[in-house]
Amino acid sequence: MSNPGTLDGVLAPILTPFTNTLTPHVPLFVALARHLMGQGLGLAPFGTTSEGNSLAVAEKVELLDALAKAGLDMGRIMPGTGCCALPDSVELSLRAVKLGCGGVLMLPPFYYKNPSEDGLFASFAEVIERVGDARLRVFLYHFPQQSQIPISHALIERLLAAYPATVVGIKDSSGDLANMESMCGAFPGFKVFAGTERLILPVMRAGGTGCISANANIHGPAMLELWRRWREPGAEALQTKLEGFRAIMEGLPLIAALKALTARRTGDYGWRRVRPPLVALPPEAEIELVERLEKAGIAI
Amino acid sequence: MSNPGTLDGVLAPILTPFTNTLTPHVPLFVALARHLMGQGLGLAPFGTTSEGNSLAVAEKVELLDALAKAGLDMGRIMPGTGCCALPDSVELSLRAVKLGCGGVLMLPPFYYKNPSEDGLFASFAEVIERVGDARLRVFLYHFPQQSQIPISHALIERLLAAYPATVVGIKDSSGDLANMESMCGAFPGFKVFAGTERLILPVMRAGGTGCISANANIHGPAMLELWRRWREPGAEALQTKLEGFRAIMEGLPLIAALKALTARRTGDYGWRRVRPPLVALPPEAEIELVERLEKAGIAI
C-alpha cells in the first residue's frame, strides 16, 4: 500500500494550469492536486510535465504554498527544485523543507553542456549545504534526453558517500531499464522511481520504489493498481493493460495532450493553455485523441 | 569607428566575479566593465561567458543597476535577458529598457528540446508584447551547441515581419560562417554579430556588424583594431594575428581560463571563482596557460 506521508507508489507530475494572461491558475492547480491525491497518488510538481522550468521561482513558491494551505499531505509531495542558478535551487529547496515536503526532485543545472563530475557534484553539494537542514531529502532527476545532463553512477556514489541521509533516490526518465536495475542493485536503500509506467513491473521486481509518469495526470489509478499488486499473478496483465493509454499518447505532444484531456475531464477550457515554447494541442488532434481513447474503451 | 551609444564593434561578454560565498561581486564587476569599456568595447553581460544562466534574476538586476549607477554608456550594453521562464525574460528585458540599454540579447527558452517554430515565435513575441516599449531592441542569440535550440531563418523572417522595429539583429555563436553570410544577405539592415573573433573579417565583409566573443575579456583591443581597420590592406594580417591568443585558449575550459587570466591581470584572487557546474581552472593548467602566452609574446 501507498503510505501516508511517504514518497512511494505512483507520483503524478501534476500539470500547471494558466489563466488567460498565462499566469499560474492557483485554484485549478489545487483542485487537480486534490483530485490526484484523492486517487491515492503522490505529487511531483514542477518537473518537466509541470512546465516547471517555464515558471519563475516566485510562481513555484506561490503554487507550493497553496498546496500546503489546502491541507494536502505534504509528505507525499516531491517538488522539482533543481534550477540553472544555484540561489534559485536553494530558495525552492528551503521552501519545500519548510512546508514539510517529503523530498525534492533535483535536476542538475542544465545550461552548460558536458559539465565535469566535479562540477555536478559541487552543484548538488552547494544546494544541500546551503539548505543545511537535516529534513532535506533529495531525489536526483536523471533525464538525459531533455536536460542533456546525465546523472552517472559515479556521481551517485560520491553523493551517497557525502550525504547518505540526504540523497535518497532518483527519478530515472531515460527509459533505460538496465540503468534502473543496476542502480537498484548497486545502491541498497536508494529509491528508484521509473519515469514511465511502461517499466513499473520490472522496476518493482528489481527493488525499485515506484513510478513518476506524466500520464498519471489522467491514468494514475491504473498505474497505482499495478504498483499495489505487482507481486500478484495478474501483474503482467495489468502492465500490459497500461500500454493501451500509453501507446495512444505516445506520438503526441504529451503535455499539451494531457492538458487537453484535463480540460475535457474538468470542463474547464483554460486547462488547454501552455506557456511557450510549448503550443496547445490543435483542436483536430484533440478530437482524434478522444476518439481513439473511446474506441479503446479508456475513460478519462 | 565604434560609436557612443551604439551597439556595434566588439562587445565583451563580461565575466561575472563572485565573492567567497559565491554571490556576485558587484565592485569587481563594475571595475571590469569600466576597464573593458575604457578599451572601446561594448558589453554583453549575462550571456554564456558571464555564467548568466547560473545567476538568479535578482542578481542580474543588481549587477545591471550597478553598471547604470556607475555612469557607464548603457547604449553600448546588451544584457542577456532570455530565460526559460517567460516572466523572468520579461522582468529582465523591462529593466534593460528602463536603464537605457542599447539592446538585449535573447536566448530562446532552452529546457524543452525540439520546440516548434510556432512555439519559439510565441516565446519571443510574448516577451516583446509584454515589455510593450518602443525602445526595446532585441538581438536573437543563436548558439545551438549550448542551448540546443537553433534560431532558423524562417523564424527570423517571421519575427522581422511582426516586429520590424524591435527585432534588430543576432549573435551567431554557431561558428558557421555560411549561416552568418546568408543572414547578412537575406535580411538587409539586420545586425549580425559573429560569436567568435575568428570570423570578424569575413563577417564584416559580408555586411555584418561586429563581434561578441568571450576572449574579448582579455584580448579585446586586438579584436577592436581589426574591426576598425577591416577595410584596410593589413586586415588579413590582423585577423591571422588574433589566432595566436584564440588557439592557446581553445582547448581550455574557456570561462575558468579567462577568469584565471583576469585574476592575474588584476591581482585579485577572487576572480578565479566560478559557480557550479563550472569548476575553477586547476593551478597547473593556469601556469601552463601563462607560460604559453608568454612564449607567444601575448600580454594579458
Indicate yes or no: CB of A276 within 8 angstroms of CB of B59: no
Is the pLDDT at B1 greater than 90, yes or no? no
Indicate yes or no: CB of A122 within 8 angstroms of CB of B276: yes
Is the pLDDT at B159 greater than 90, yes or no? yes
A77 φ/ψ angles, rounded to the nearest 5 degrees: -120, 130
**Which among B111, B122, B276 has the least Cβ separation from residue A126?**
B276
The pLDDT value given to residue A93: 98
A40 φ/ψ angles, rounded to the nearest 5 degrees: 95, 5
- Tally the residues of chain B: 300
| DSSP state string for A22-78 | SSB-HHHHHHHHHHHHHTT-EE-TTSTTTTGGGS-HHHHHHHHHHHHHTT--GGGB-
The predicted model scores a pTM of: 0.97
Taking the alpha carbons at both ends of chain A, their separation in whole angstroms is 24
The pLDDT value given to residue A300: 87
- Tally the residues of chain A: 300
Indicate yes or no: CB of B53 within 8 angstroms of CB of A85: yes
Closest to A170 in 3D by CA, of A139, A196, A203, A137: A139
Percent of chain B with pLDDT over 90: 97
Q: What is the pLDDT of residues B268-294, one digit of tens each?
A: 999 999 999 999 999 999 999 999 999
Residue pair A180/A173 in contact (Cβ under 8 Å)? The answer is no
Is the pLDDT at B2 greater than 60, yes or no? no
The pLDDT value given to residue B297: 95
pLDDT 10s per residue in chain A (300 long)?
A: 456 789 999 999 999 999 999 999 999 999 999 999 999 999 999 999 999 999 999 999 999 999 999 999 999 999 999 999 999 999 999 999 999 999 999 999 999 999 999 999 999 999 999 999 999 999 999 999 999 999 999 999 999 999 999 999 999 999 999 999 999 999 999 999 999 999 999 999 999 999 999 999 999 999 999 999 999 999 999 999 999 999 999 989 999 999 999 999 999 999 999 999 999 999 999 999 999 999 999 988
A189 φ/ψ angles, rounded to the nearest 5 degrees: 85, -10
Q: What is the pLDDT of residues A206-219, one digit of tens each?
A: 999 999 999 999 99
What is the torsion angle, in degrees rounded to the nearest 10, for the CA atoms of residue B212, residue B217, residue B222 and residue B226?
10
0.85 surpassed by complex ipTM:
yes
Residue pair A105/A79 in contact (Cβ under 8 Å)? The answer is yes
CA distance A252 to A267: 21
What residues of chain A, 180 to 239, have a C-beta less than 8 Å from chain B? none
The residue among B46, B49, B86, B143 with the most chain A CBs within 10 A of its CB, best to mutate, is B86
**Which among B59, B111, B277 has the least Cβ separation from residue A115?**
B277
Q: Percentage helix, strand, coil, to 5, in chain B?
A: 50, 10, 40
Is the pLDDT at B46 greater than 60, yes or no? yes
Cell of residue B299, nine digits: 600580454
Angle B262-B265-B268 from CA coordinates, rounded to 5°: 70
Burial A193-217 (b: 16+ CB within 10 A, else e): bbbbbbbbbbbbebbbbbbbbbbbb
**Which among B87, B126, B276 has the least Cβ separation from residue A123?**
B276
Q: What is the pLDDT of residues A143-167, one digit of tens each?
A: 999 999 999 999 999 999 999 999 9
Indicate yes or no: CB of A115 within 8 angstroms of CB of B86: no
Q: In whole angstroms, how far apart are CA A229 and each of A24, A142, A200, A226, A281?
A: 36, 27, 11, 5, 34
What residues of chain A, 146 to 185, have a C-beta less than 8 Å from chain B? 146-149
Strand A9-12's sheet: what is its strand order?
A42-43, A9-12, A210-212, A191-194, A167-172, A138-142, A104-106
**Which among B22, B113, B149 has the least Cβ separation from residue A86?**
B22
CA distance B245 to B219: 8
**H or E stretch at A291:** helix A283-295
A99 φ/ψ angles, rounded to the nearest 5 degrees: -85, 0
CA distance A290 to B192: 47
User: Cβ-count burial of A191 within 10 angstroms (0-12 exposed, 13-18 middle, 19+ buried)?
Assistant: buried
Quickly count: other Cβ atoms within 10 Å of residue A260's Cβ. 25
CA distance B19 to A43: 37
Indicate yes or no: CB of B120 within 8 angstroms of CB of A276: yes
What residues of chain B, 64 to 123, have a C-beta less than 8 Å from chain A? 84-88, 91, 108-113, 115-116, 118-120, 122-123
User: Cβ-count burial of B265 within 10 angstroms (0-12 exposed, 13-18 middle, 19+ buried)?
Assistant: middle
Q: Which domains does chain A have, with CATH numbers?
A: 9-234 (3.20.20.70)
Per-residue pLDDT, averaged over B47-67, amounts to: 98
What residues of chain B, 9 to 38, have a C-beta less than 8 Å from chain A? 22
Q: Is the dihedral of CA B192, B197, B200, B202 positive or negative?
A: negative
CA distance B68 to A174: 45
CB-based contact (8 Å) between A266 and chain B?
no
The pLDDT value given to residue A234: 96
